[in-house]
Amino acid sequence: MKSLVCTKPQQFDYQQIKRPEITSGNAILKVKRIGICGTDLHAFEGTQPFFNYPRILGHELACEVAEIEENSDFKVGDAVTFIPYFSCGKCIACRNKKPNCCTDIQVFGVHIDGGMSEYISVPIQFLVKSQGLSFDELALVEPLAIGCHGVNRANVQANEFVLVMGAGPIGLGTMEFAKIAGAKVIALDVNDLRLTFCQEKLSVDFTINALSDNVLARLREITNNDMPTVIIDATGNLTAIESAFQYLAHGGKYILVGLQKGEISFSHPEFHKREATLMSSRNATRQDFEQVINAMKKGLVKPTTYITHRVNFEQVKDNFESWLNPTNGVIKAIVNFDN
């Protein structure tokens, strides 16, 4: 079967590899859709932490069950997605019902080879039923679950001001679930096209361009000088992350969903006097996946509005680098495996 391998930064190669064989506890899935996310783009650039080459990318998947053991809750032909963070089930995090930050986690498409293949083998325990969603919708469940998890970590409350930094797919999903929680959402980005998308497609309450606006002044104006009680970073940009400490309300919470390779620094007195909370948000849980699917089924989230670019599997190599260019207006690129 054919796979697309990122052999080193800036280079893809199509390769023929052996189709996986059915084993106990695993299902063979036929890949139908793959969403391209920031992790994939950063891996291609060579800026993704926790990453080694060569690697088959892809962890936002919609699939069809091709082979599975008879006593499973799934059957051949079922449409599925899956939780791509394979946890050990034994470590301190797993025992405390936080498998998303398992000490020995194997993230599909990051630590181990991912979905850019015609068929893949996945542990049955991580499969998620489609509940009637289309393949396009299923491919968007995972990235939306990342944002949903960040909002749940922050315990966002109705009517509080939530600043979401970064209007890429993860940031957009974060905004969606913050709005569902009843928050007044402020989108901060450097790209006017994405900020317009936030207003027109997601009905975000306020937008700020970090390059052309005075961010502090706008935040004071919007919040009546209170400043946001929740800040969620979805940029993974060091400058953005460090700048945001000054935007936080006293008693506020700062959640890092985005990830960068280096260290972050901030003024301890400024952070301390706010009695602020700083936390990370990693991956998502099955509960987050179910929350996203329920929101989709209720029409609270319309994932297909995110899809701006689409190619067939054979076209990925020639198109991938163009998705790094913000002027191309990419929100979510989708790869089709069935022409």
CA–CA distance, 308 with 323 (Å, rounded to integer):
11
- Split into its structural domains, the chain has a count of 2
| Residue 304 φ then ψ, to 5° | -70, -15
pLDDT in tens, 135-165: 999 999 999 999 999 999 999 999 999 999 9
| Pairwise CA distance, residues 82 & 87, whole Å | 13
Whether 121 and 64 map to the same domain: the answer is yes
pLDDT at 172 over 70: yes
What is the pLDDT of the chain when averaged over all its residues? 95
Which residues contact residue 123 at a Cβ distance below 8 angstroms, ignoring those fewer than 6 apart?
A: 25, 26, 27, 86
Residue 283 CB neighbour total at 10 angstroms: 22
Task: Give residue 39's pLDDT.
Answer: 84
CATH of the domain at 206: 3.40.50.720
Task: Give me the CATH number covering residue 61.
Answer: 3.90.180.10
Q: Which domain holds residue 204?
A: 146-280
pLDDT tens figures, 275-293: 999 999 999 999 999 999 9
Mean pLDDT score, 12-21: 95
Give DSSP secondary structure letters for 271-288.
HHHTT-EEEE--S--HHH
Q: Same domain, yes or no, for 117 and 165?
A: no
Identify whether residues 130 and 156 lie together within a single domain.
no
At residue 46, the pLDDT reads 83
Within-domain flag for 293: no
Residues 55 and 126 in one domain: yes
The pLDDT assigned to 112 comes to 95
Whether residues 159 and 271 share a domain: the answer is yes
Of 194, 144, 191, 180, the closest CA to residue 35 belongs to: 144
Mean per-residue pLDDT for 70-95?
97
Give the per-residue pLDDT at 252. 98
For residue 228, tell me if it sits in a domain.
Answer: yes
Number of CB atoms found within 10 A of residue 326's CB: 13
Residue 289 placed within a domain: no
The continuous run of DSSP H or E covering 227 comes out as none
CA distances to 54, 259, 281 from 170, in Å = 25, 12, 12
Residue 296 lies in a domain: no
- Do 111 and 75 belong to one domain? yes
- What would the two tokens of residue 13 be? 């190669």
- Tell me the per-residue pLDDT of 93-138, one tens digit each, with 9 for 90 and over: 999 999 999 999 999 999 999 999 999 999 999 999 999 999 999 9
What is the mean predicted confidence (pLDDT) over 83-98?
Answer: 97
In-domain check, residue 287: no
In a shared domain, residues 265 and 153:
yes
Residue 49 pLDDT exceeds 80:
no
Please tell me the distance from the alpha carbon of residue 77 to that of residue 127, in angstroms, as a whole number: 14
In this predicted structure, the answer to whether residue 296 has a pLDDT above a threshold of 80 is: yes
What's the whole-number mean pLDDT along residues 308-314? Answer: 95
Residue 290 in any domain: the answer is no
What is the pTM for the complete model shown? 0.95
Residue with tokens 């008879």: 70
Specify whether 76 is located in the same domain as 177.
no
What proportion of the chain, given as a percentage, has pLDDT over 70? 99
- Is residue 157 domain-shared with residue 268, that is, in the same domain? yes
- pLDDT score at 339: 55
Assess if residue 169 is contained within a domain: yes
Regarding whether 205 and 174 lie in a shared domain, the answer is: yes
CA distance 208 to 205: 11
For 270, the 3-state DSSP assignment is helix
Read off the pLDDT of each residue in 52-65 and give the average, rounded to a whole number.
Answer: 95
Task: Indicate whether 87 and 201 sit together in one domain.
Answer: no
Kindly state whether residues 274 and 321 are assigned to the same domain: no
Residue 178 lies in a domain: yes
Buried b (16+ CB within 10 A) or exposed e, 189-226: bbbeebbebbeeebebbbbbbbeeeebeebbeebbeee
